Each structure stands twice: as structure tokens, then as C-alpha cells.
Structure 1
Amino acid sequence: MVAMWCPRAAHAAQLGILINLSEQTMTVKVDGLFNYRWLVSTARRGYRTPTGQFHPIRLERVWYSSKYDSAPMPYSIFFYGGYAIHGTWEIRRLGRPVSHGCVRLHPDNARILFGLVRSYGRGSTVITIRR
């Protein structure tokens, strides 16, 4: 019997998504190494984006809001009830808090993030949202 050494066997690969509400940014790290930093839009005054640590609950490549006039939510990553990270067509508003609570990002970036979450899996993805 031949033993094979696999560098990833010592620890499971992890995808880390950090959303900073005060900076309106998202940082994406794979196995602790910086990969991406993007502008986002989170909750505007009168609404809230939940803070804490979450794992994705559900992924939907095509989704429309059932609460807000069937607004398109491409590449949705639901992480807490109806809250999701998703693409937006209002890209000029990224970097400012304008949403009803979801985390919005550029559709191209949402597609990349969606693919990463699918690749690494919901259990190996940690979403941290802080003020």
C-alpha cells in the first residue's frame, strides 16, 4: 500500500467573506489569503443589515424579490432568513448604504463570489458582517 501526501488534507479549504458596513466593502479570502476587495451597498437608514457570522443557507443564480416589487437579485447567496448577498444593476450606488438590508455588489463580482461559494461549499464558507 502506498501512502499519498495531500497538502490540503491537513485542513479543509475555507472561503472567508468579510463585509465591513462602515467602509461599504467586501473582502474575500481563500484559505486566509486575500483574493478580492469590492465595493458593496448595505442597509440604508431605517433598515438593517444583520451583523455577526453566518454560513450560506441557499444559493439562487436567478432570483426575484418577493418583498420588493420583484426586484432582480442575480447570484443570490442567502445567509440569514431573506437576507442575501447578490448582484445589483445600480452599480453607481455601490459604496453607499442604499439597500433594504441585503448586501449588493456588482453583478460581475456577484458571479465570481457565487462560483466560489459553490466550489468551496456552504459549510466551508464563512460570512462575517461587522460595523
Structure 2
Amino acid sequence: MTRLGAASAAVMALGTLGVTTGLALTDVSLERPATVSTPAAPLAVAPPVVPVLADAGSAPSTTATRPTTTRPTTARSTTTRTATRTTSTSTSAHPMPCSIDGDGACVSLSAKRAWLVQGGEVVASAPITSGRPGERTPTGTFHVTWKDADHRSSEFDDAPMPWSVFFHGGIAFHTGSLSRQSAGCIHLSDAVAKRFFRTLSVGDTVVVTR
């Protein structure tokens, strides 16, 4: 009974060990390996947008600047007009045949023209009529003797002789016809006779050439 009991106990112990070992082995073989979780890649996060603030004293540049177009500057030519005074010796169209220094007048009977001179320079030139045959205007160098703005001829029935400038007896510059010859005086248009009267003074030289 004792031996059987010991043997039974040994068998039971082995059985228990085998069962236990088998169970343990079975559990180990059947056990799934633990799942190792792989850490996920970090998400790309956009950097925060930081607004750029303009300085307090300047406005933000929001508009495109257009390039400045420079137009070529065209210089305008400026013409300076210079008043040219005609010398006492000649004019471009009608050369004066006299030589007068200072103030005076020159007459060319053949050219039918008179020149007014101031300071040795011609200031006016105009057509004339002179004495008819038998009453020719005398030639030579004379001087202004007297003047009368509203003269009337005592020789020719009180005929008007406006702006008369006398230089040789009764011979004078005065307003008269430019289409008819005179009795010896120098006829001028009214405007020119008035200018001769206002410009010439007693004593000024008058030269009459043929």
C-alpha cells in the first residue's frame, strides 16, 4: 500500500509536471508577438503667418510704381529781333546821296525822294514832287530858316501849305500833291511833312541834289 501510494504520487507529480509543462509550451507557442506600434511621422505644420506692419509714418506699398518716362526736351529756338537803324550814307532800297552829320534833310530831285536824318542816321525816307520846268527847286546846301505849321501862301492866293519848313527864301517842305509838280517847294505826304516839321529845327542842314 505504501509503495503503491508512493508510485502513484510520483506518477501524479510527473503528470502534473507534464501537463503543466505542455500547457506552458503550448501557451508560449500560440502566443502572438506583441505589436510594436511605429510612431507616426510628424505632420508638416505651416509656419504662422506674421503680418508685416508698416511704419507709423509711411503707408504700406500696395500699388505698383510705374516707371517715369522722361520726354526729351526740345529747345525752342528764340529769334531775337534787333531793330537796325539805317546809316546816313545809304538805305537798302534807296541810297542817300548826301553826307549829313547831325540833324537835317537830304533831297534827290532825280530820284524824287527825300531823307530825314537825326544824329547822322536816316530815320525816314519818302517820295516827293519838286518844282516844274521854269520853277525848278534850287540845288545846294541850305539851312532851316523858319517853320509854320499852318502856313498859307501869299504868292498863290492864300493856298494852304501845312507843316511848312522853309530852308531857302520861300522854298519849303510842306504837305502837297505827289502827282503834280510844285512851284519850287518840296511836296510830301501829310504824315511825312508833319514828321519833318516836328524833327527839323531852325539851323538844321538841308542838302538838295540834282
TM-score (norm 2): 0.50
Are residues 1:100 and 2:188 paired?
A: no
CA distance in 2, matches of 1:27, 1:112: 11
Aligned to 1:116: 199
Q: Which has the larger radius of gyration?
A: 2
| CA deviation map 1:34-56 (0-9, x unaligned) | 21110111011121111111111
Structure 1 segment 1-131 matched on structure 2, within 5 A: 14-88=102-176, 90-91=177-178, 93=179, 98-117=181-200, 121-123=201-203, 125-131=204-210
Read off the aligned partner of 1:126 and give its amino acid letter.
T
Once the 2 structures are TM-superposed, how far is the Cα of residue 15 of structure 1 from its aligned partner? Answer: 1.2
Read off the aligned partner of 2:139 and give its amino acid letter.
T
CA distance in 2, matches of 1:76, 1:86: 4
Once the 2 structures are TM-superposed, how far is the Cα of residue 14 of structure 1 from its aligned partner? Answer: 2.1
Read off the aligned partner of 1:79 and give its amino acid letter.
F
Counterpart secondary structure, 1:64: strand
Identity among equivalent positions (%) equals: 33
TM-score (norm 1): 0.78
CA distance in 2, matches of 1:113, 1:58: 13
Aligned to 1:5: none
Gaps of 5+ in 1: 1-12
Read off the aligned partner of 1:115 and give its amino acid letter.
R
Gaps of 5+ in 2: 1-100
Cα RMSD (Å) of the superposition? 1.4
Read off the aligned partner of 1:127 and give its amino acid letter.
V
Once the 2 structures are TM-superposed, how far is the Cα of residue 69 of structure 1 from its aligned partner? Answer: 2.1
